[in-house]
Amino acid sequence: MACAGLSSLDLFRLGAGLRSGALTAAALIEDVLGRIAAAGDDRVWIERVPEAQVRAQAARLDAEAAGDPGRLARLALFGIPFAIKDNIDVAGLPTTAACPGFAYLPSVTAPVVARLEAAGAILVGKTNMDQLATGLVGCRSPYGVPRNPFDARFIPGGSSSGSAVAVAAGLVSFALGTDTAGSGRVPAAFNNIVGLKPTRGRISTRGVAPACRSFDCVSIFALSCEDAAQILDICEGYDAEDPLSRRVERGVATFPERFRFALPAAADREFFGDAETPGLFAAAAEALEGLGGVRTEVDFAPFRAAGEMLYGSAFVAERLAAIEDLFRRSPEALLPVTRRIIGAGDAYSAVDAFNAEARLAGLRRSAEALWQAAEILVLPTAATTYTIAAVAADPYATNVRLGHYTNFVNLFDLAAVAVPAGFRRDGLPFGISLIAPACSDAALASLGARLHRRLDLPLGATAHRLPPPSPASPAGPRPGSAPAPPLRR
């Protein structure tokens, strides 16, 4: 649990305290540094920003606000503490991707981080992760396993494990992860927080060490859907220097009062023997009906088949392409499990790659029928969870099961938000994912916010609850949103 501090670190409460003068950026940062110290050796961090530098940035913000009272209002994230996954570049801090042999020292900060800092946010550190963003378990790091704040015997989820734990434990207000196969959603489910996986290309991936470049995206962990939507508003934007960046239309901001949501047909629902998650999933579906949703059942087969292709076809070769030089030169630099997964890319030919593209196109077309029947696909974020010991005993099958409901999303160019949806009897959290076509990010966040509020769950592993509803739409424009600033060097 978070140590006793000033408040919940959600953006609403912190913003109110900062605007009223009851809280300063310096006081907030001191509280955050105290929380991190109290957490001890939680294996959350790979690299911390020097505390003197963090304090100096907070003091500078306070001084600017004292000299120009309008400054605070113009910076949407004034003084807000955040963290980033250690495959995202910050000038002067090493990027390791949890692989010391891969590490390099960037001279340029990734645009996504630069945008957040330009809005007043204060970077606290870079977080632990599954090595080279390959895994959904959170146990594949030479820096240890980030401590699950609900039960240290259980996995925190990966690959963005440290980022999710940092938010859930009340160490930062929000954190960036990445999501190729579910790495921005599975850790959210296991830590009782929100994980927003935006439309691919909406946030620049320049300055992000690639895992599988065609399907990578930056993801957002936050305590609420409103917070995640606000962060997305600030850090999104077309980047002409990123060949995969897209000019993304905002799309609808909300779904209609009466909306249709799809569930897999009963025969397609797989929970891998978990006795509790089926009931929690059913309860979440009933809560969506209470919000005006009308359920329908659909064939999950094309989604499942596409998900199996991410690691079971020539698409895995793109992971090898991302680190081929290191893999050929120093394969021992990789953990055995990482080496085996990425090395599988050697088994495929260019012909295999074209065949995989053709098969995926066919599956994508088959899956499009769902969007005639419903606006949203609703799935468990993860069907079950595992202890660290269980993953160590079978690191491959356990990971595959965790991706059952997540792997296909980027392959089908969909948007998704993972939302907390209750607790098992053993106290471990459960979550669901709301999934819809590209550019539906705002509407998904809005519906996710309504569901989260209806379920009235604590925020992460803290005792805090959601703040009062904001009068603004959770996905509407926010003060302080601005074009991309010059990159910091």
Question: How does pLDDT run across 203-241, given as a tens digit for each residue?
Answer: 999 999 999 999 999 999 999 999 999 999 999 999 999
Q: Could you confirm whether 85 is annotated as catalytic?
A: yes
- Which segments of 40-123 does DSSP mark as H helices, in order? 51-67, 70-74, 111-118
> Is residue 220 a contact partner of residue 417, using CB atoms and an 8 Å limit?
no
Pseudo-torsion of CA 145, 149, 154, 158, nearest 10°? -50
Mean per-residue pLDDT, 135-155: 98
Mean per-residue pLDDT, 113-117: 98
Beta strand spans in 9-166 (E): 45-48, 81-85, 122-127
Within a 13 Å sphere around the CA of 327, how many CA atoms are in the beta-carbon half?
A: 19
Mean pLDDT is highest, among 4-8, 66-70, 140-144, for 140-144
User: How much is the pLDDT for 474?
Assistant: 41
Both tokens of 436, joined, read 């819809």
> Would you say residue 2 has pLDDT above 50?
no
> Would you say residue 72 has pLDDT above 70?
yes
Instruction: For the beta carbon of residue 72, count every other beta carbon within 10 angstroms.
Output: 21
Mean per-residue pLDDT, 426-448: 97
Mean per-residue pLDDT, 158-173: 98
User: How much is the pLDDT for 6?
Assistant: 63
CA distances from 278 to 92, 211, 289, 350, 430 (A): 47, 32, 17, 41, 10
Domains of the chain: residue spans and CATH: 11-303+357-455 (3.90.1300.10)
End-to-end distance of the chain based on CA atoms, in angstroms? 36
> Which of the residues 163, 183, 313, 433 is marked catalytic?
183
List 154's β-bridge partners, or say none.
387
Both tokens of 282, joined, read 């059913």
List 436's β-bridge partners, or say none.
415
Instruction: For the beta carbon of residue 344, count every other beta carbon within 10 angstroms.
Output: 15
Question: What is the rounded distance in angstroms from the CA atom of residue 26 to the CA atom of residue 24?
Answer: 5
Q: State percent of the chain over pLDDT 70.
A: 95
Question: What is the rounded distance in angstroms from the CA atom of residue 99 to the CA atom of residue 237?
Answer: 30
Question: What is the rounded distance in angstroms from the CA atom of residue 8 to the CA atom of residue 44?
Answer: 19
User: How much is the pLDDT for 250?
Assistant: 74
> Is residue 138 a contact partner of residue 157, using CB atoms and an 8 Å limit?
yes
> Would you say residue 484 has pLDDT above 50?
no
Both tokens of 65, joined, read 């606000």
> Would you say residue 464 has pLDDT above 90?
yes
CA distances from 322 to 132, 163, 200, 210, 344 (A): 9, 22, 18, 6, 13
The model's confidence at residue 487, banded by pLDDT at 50, 70 and 90, is: very low
> Which of the residues 8, 85, 126, 204 is marked catalytic?
85
User: How much is the pLDDT for 1?
Assistant: 34
> Is residue 419 a contact partner of residue 433, using CB atoms and an 8 Å limit?
yes
Name the DSSP class of 220.
E
Q: State percent of the chain over pLDDT 90.
A: 91
> Would you say residue 185 has pLDDT above 50?
yes
User: How much is the pLDDT for 483?
Assistant: 37
The model's confidence at residue 470, banded by pLDDT at 50, 70 and 90, is: low
> 255-311: per-residue pLDDT in tens?
999 999 999 999 999 999 999 999 999 999 999 999 999 999 999 999 999 999 999
List 419's β-bridge partners, or say none.
432
Both tokens of 229, joined, read 């939507």
Both tokens of 40, joined, read 């001890």
Question: What is the rounded distance in angstroms from the CA atom of residue 328 to the CA atom of residue 308?
Answer: 26
Question: What is the rounded distance in angstroms from the CA atom of residue 238 to the CA atom of residue 246?
Answer: 6
> Would you say residue 478 has pLDDT above 80?
no
Quote the mean pLDDT of the chain: 94
Tell which wins on pLDDT, 337 or 468.
337
Q: Could you confirm whether 126 is annotated as catalytic?
A: no
Question: What is the rounded distance in angstroms from the CA atom of residue 100 to the CA atom of residue 342?
Answer: 17
> Which of the residues 8, 141, 159, 160 is marked catalytic?
159
**SS3 call for 126:** strand
> 324-370: per-residue pLDDT in tens?
999 999 999 999 999 999 999 999 999 999 999 999 999 999 999 99
- Which segments of 323-430 does DSSP mark as H helices, in order? 324-329, 336-343, 350-367, 370-373, 388-393, 395-402, 408-411
Question: What is the rounded distance in angstroms from the CA atom of residue 406 to the CA atom of residue 186?
Answer: 8
> Is residue 273 a contact partner of residue 384, using CB atoms and an 8 Å limit?
yes
What is the strand order of the sheet 194-197 is part of? 45-48, 122-127, 81-85, 174-178, 218-222, 194-197, 414-423, 429-437, 376-380, 259-264, 293-298
User: How much is the pLDDT for 480?
Assistant: 37
